[in-house]
Amino acid sequence: MRTLYLVSVALHLVAAATWIGSLTFFGAVLVPALRAPDLEPIRTRVLTVVGLRYRLVGWLSLAVLVVTGVSNLWLRGVSWRALSDSAFWASPWARVLAWKLALVTLLVAVNFVHDVVLGPRAARLLDLDPEGEEAAHARRSASWLGRLELAISVAVLGFAVLLVRGLP
Number of domains in the chain: 1
Positive or negative: CA dihedral 10, 12, 13, 15: positive
- Could you list the pLDDT tens digit for every one of the 168 residues in the chain? 899 999 999 999 999 999 999 999 999 999 999 999 999 899 888 988 999 899 999 999 999 999 999 999 999 999 999 999 999 999 999 999 999 999 999 999 999 999 999 988 988 888 888 888 998 899 899 999 999 999 999 999 999 999 999 887
CA distance 133 to 120: 16
Neighbours of 139 (CB within 10 A): 20
Residue by residue, DSSP assigns 70-90 as: HHHHHHTT--HHHHT-TTGGG
Give the pLDDT score at 127.
82
Q: Return the percent helix, strand and coil in the chain, to nearest 5.
A: 90, 0, 10
Residue range of the domain that includes 50: 1-165
